[in-house]
Amino acid sequence: MGATLVLANTYHLYLRPGDELVADFGGVHRFMAWDGPVLTDSGGFQVFSLGEIREIDAGGVTFRSHLDGSKHRLTPEKSIRIQHNLGADIIMAFDECTDPKERGAVEAALERTHRWLGLCRDEHLRSGDPQRQALFGIVQGGVFHDLRARSVEAVTAHDLPGYAVGGLAVGETKAEMYDTLEFTAPLLPADRPRYLMGVGSPEDLVHGVARGIDIFDCVLPTRIARNGAALTRAGRMNMRNLQYATDHDPIEPGCTCYACQTFTRGYIRHLVQASEILAHQLLSLHNLHFLLTLMREMRAAILDGTFADYAKQFLATYQPVAGTQEGVSAPPLG
């Protein structure tokens, strides 16, 4: 499909099947038979999301497995060693993600994140292979400009091969997310990739690229596929709708993906209604194709010098899902 990077989750692989077992199979590339680039997250986001079954201290996080309740501890050093075992091309620093709008909590998490980044880098230099695995740092600071600026300074001081903007798409409005990106991205070095973690929807990819982001990751295309939704230029399509039962068009006329080249909306709706696994496959394939095509087109438009027009046109046509754009004040596309 032309994907240039695949994300694997450190938290999930650490618990099952275990990072040492993955290492025994030659790393995550060989384990899943994918020879393209792979990125692993640090496991931090999932662990912090565990809520009541995790406890944070200065050195790391103690938590219980969501699978069997067993007790585990993740530290900056441990996260890096797990990511060494998994063997991805890009590995992420272990950071603390908190409510982006609570200044006190954000500030405390920021200090910890910066201290932990030093520990991650030291562990990577000590036991890792920085030529083979690139460690990216993560900028935090919630929606507060001054904290973001402070974080960029602290994180970029390590002169890392890439940087992520973390702590967004976790509860703030889209306007706040776009505003934070607009402020933060230009502060990052222009010659290093910038990665917006956990994003996102088609409109967020466009708004993110407009603000200087290069890399994204999100479960959205495959998660909504399993719920029967397809991405199109006009917005999200709920394939369960009765109107598609008799529809002979492909999901999106003109789309070159296998699902659209082969099947009608009527057939795919039938598969969704009948809970056929093929529905999940075809919609996942189409949605990934849609986002990968969008990214390809944006890259081409940037090289052509026509990105602003491209973005304006895409956003004029694409109707985001109602209720997800509250507070968005159509920020400039730069």
Among 19, 41, 95, 179, which one carries the catalytic annotation? 41
Task: Sort 132 into a burial class: Cβ within 10 Å, 0-12 / 13-18 / 19+.
Answer: exposed
* 264 near a copy of itself, judged by CB under 8 A: yes
Strands (E), 84-243: 90-92, 134-139, 163-165, 194-196, 215-216, 229-232, 235-238
Taking CB under 8 A as the criterion, the residue among 32, 53, 125, 330 binding a copy of itself is: 32
Task: For residue 35, indicate whether it is catalytic.
Answer: no
Comparing CB distances to a copy of itself, the nearer of 139 and 271 is 271
Q: Report in angstroms how near the CB of residue 105 gets to a copy of itself at its nearest.
A: 33
Please report, as residue ranges, which positions from 241 to 260 form the binding site for a copy of itself (by CB under 8 A). 245-246, 248
Query: What's the CA gap between 102 and 179, in Å, rounded?
Result: 17
* 72 near a copy of itself, judged by CB under 8 A: no
Please report, as residue ranges, which positions from 268 to 287 form the binding site for a copy of itself (by CB under 8 A). 269-270, 273-274, 277, 280-281
* 130 near a copy of itself, judged by CB under 8 A: no
CB-based contact 226:281 (threshold 8 Å): no
Contacts made by residues 159-162, CB under 8 angstroms, sequence distance 24+: 160/121, 160/134, 160/135, 160/136, 160/192, 161/134, 161/135, 161/136, 161/192, 161/193, 162/90, 162/134, 162/136, 162/137, 162/192, 162/193, 162/194, 162/195, 162/215
Q: Report in angstroms how near the CB of residue 316 gets to a copy of itself at its nearest.
A: 34
Residues 216-235, one symbol each (x = binds a copy of itself by CB under 8 A, - = not), give: --------------------
Comparing CB distances to a copy of itself, the nearer of 178 and 244 is 244
What are the residues binding a copy of itself (CB under 8 A)? 12, 16-17, 21, 24-25, 31-33, 245-246, 248, 262-264, 266-267, 269-270, 273-274, 277, 280-281
Q: Which residues are catalytic?
A: 41, 217
